[in-house]
A and B are shown apart, each in its own frame.
Chain A
Amino acid sequence: MARSATPAPELVLPQPVTAHSTGLVAWGRSVLRGAPVFSLCFLILAIACALGAPLLASYDPIETNRAQTLLPPGLSAHLLGTDHLGRDILSRLVYGARISVTVGFLAAFVSGTVGTLIAVVSGVMRGWAETVLMRLTDAFLALPFLMVAVLVVSLLGPSLVNVVLVIGLLRWMTYARTIRSEVLRLTEMDFVRLARAAGARPRRIIVQHILPNIVNTLLVLGTLEVGSAVITEASLSFLGLGVPRPLPSWGTMLAESQTYVFTAWWLPVFPGIAITLLVMASNLTGDWLRDRLDPTRRQL
Chain B
Amino acid sequence: MRRYIARRVLQGIVTIWLVTLGVFSVLRLTGDPVSYMLPPDASKEDRERLIALYGFNDPLWKQYVVFNNSLLHGRFGPSLRWDSRDALEVFLSRLPATLALTGVAMSFSIILGVVLGAVAATRPDSLFDRVAKGAAILGQSMPVFWVGILLILLFTVYLEWLPSAGGLDRLGLKGLILPAFTLGWLFVAAHMRIVRSSMLDVLDSDYIKMVRAKGMPRRTVIWKHALKNASIPIFTLFAVNFAQLISGAVVTETIFAWPGVGRLLVDSIFVRDYPVAQTVVFFAASFIIMINIVVDIAYAWLDPRVRIAG
Contact = CB atoms under 8 A, between A and B. Distances in A.
Contact of A258 (B18, B124, B255, B269): B255
Instruction: Pick the 8 closest A-B CB pairs, nearest first.
Output: A146-B247, A272-B146, A280-B141, A144-B284, A279-B141, A139-B18, A144-B246, A155-B30
A37 interface: no
Interface in A121-174: 135-136, 138-139, 141-148, 150-152, 154-156
Interface in B24-59: 26-27, 30-31, 36
B277 interface: yes
A231 interface: yes
Given A238-B143, A239-B251, A272-B149, 19 more contacts: A139-B22, A143-B288, A144-B243, A146-B246, A150-B265, A151-B281, A238-B251, A239-B250, A240-B270, A257-B149, A258-B149, A261-B149, A268-B150, A269-B153, A275-B142, A275-B146, A276-B143, A283-B137, A284-B137
B68 interface: no
A135 B15 contact: yes
A265 interface: yes
A235 interface: yes
Contact of A254 (B27, B137, B149): B149
Contact of A276 (B125, B130, B146, B247): B146
B288 A142 contact: yes
Interface string B152-188: 1100010000000000000000000000000000000
Contacts, number: 137
Contacts of A151: 26, 265, 269, 277-278, 281
B187 to A, nearest CB: 15
A261 B281 contact: no
Interface residues of B, number: 51
A142 B19 contact: yes
Interface string B237-263: 000000110110011001100000010
Main secondary structure of the interface of B (DSSP, over half): helix
Contact of B143 (A142, A148, A275): A275
B138 A280 contact: yes
A141 B243 contact: yes
16 contacts: A5-B130, A135-B11, A135-B18, A136-B18, A142-B15, A144-B243, A144-B284, A146-B251, A151-B26, A241-B269, A258-B255, A261-B153, A272-B149, A272-B150, A276-B143, A279-B143
Interface of A: 1, 5-6, 135-136, 138-139, 141-148, 150-152, 154-156, 227, 231, 234-235, 238-241, 251, 254, 257-258, 261-262, 265, 268-269, 272, 275-277, 279-280, 283-284
B149 A150 contact: no
Given A155-B26, A261-B157, A265-B153, A144 B138 contact: no
B247 A145 contact: yes
A238 B133 CA distance: 28
